[in-house]
Amino acid sequence: MTVVATGAAAAASIAELGKNGNQHARWNPICDNFGAFCCRGAIALAESFVGSLLLLILNVLSTVTLRKNVAAHD
C-alpha cells in the first residue's frame, strides 16, 4: 500500500513541476507546449490514486474477513 501511494505522490509532484516549472532551477513549464502529454499524465494520475483507494479498500476487506475467520475458529 505504501509503495503504491508513494509512487502516486511522486508522480503528482513531477506533474506539478511539468505544469508550473521551477524558476529557481530555470525549468520552464512544459504543459503549454505539450498539452496532450499533460492531459494523459493527469488521467494516469487520477487512475493511480483510484488504484490506491481500491487497494486500501481491498486491504480493509481482507482484514475484516481474516478477523471474522479467526473469531469463528475460537
pLDDT(74) > 80: no
Three-class secondary structure of residue 22 per DSSP: strand
Give pTM, 2 decimals.
0.74
Domain that includes residue 44, residue range: 2-73
Return d(Cα 37, Cα 59) in angstroms, integer: 33
- Read off the pLDDT of residues 12-49 as tens digits, 9 standing for 90 and up: 998 888 888 888 888 888 888 888 888 998 999 999 99
pLDDT for the residue numbered 61: 97
Structural domains counted in the chain: 1
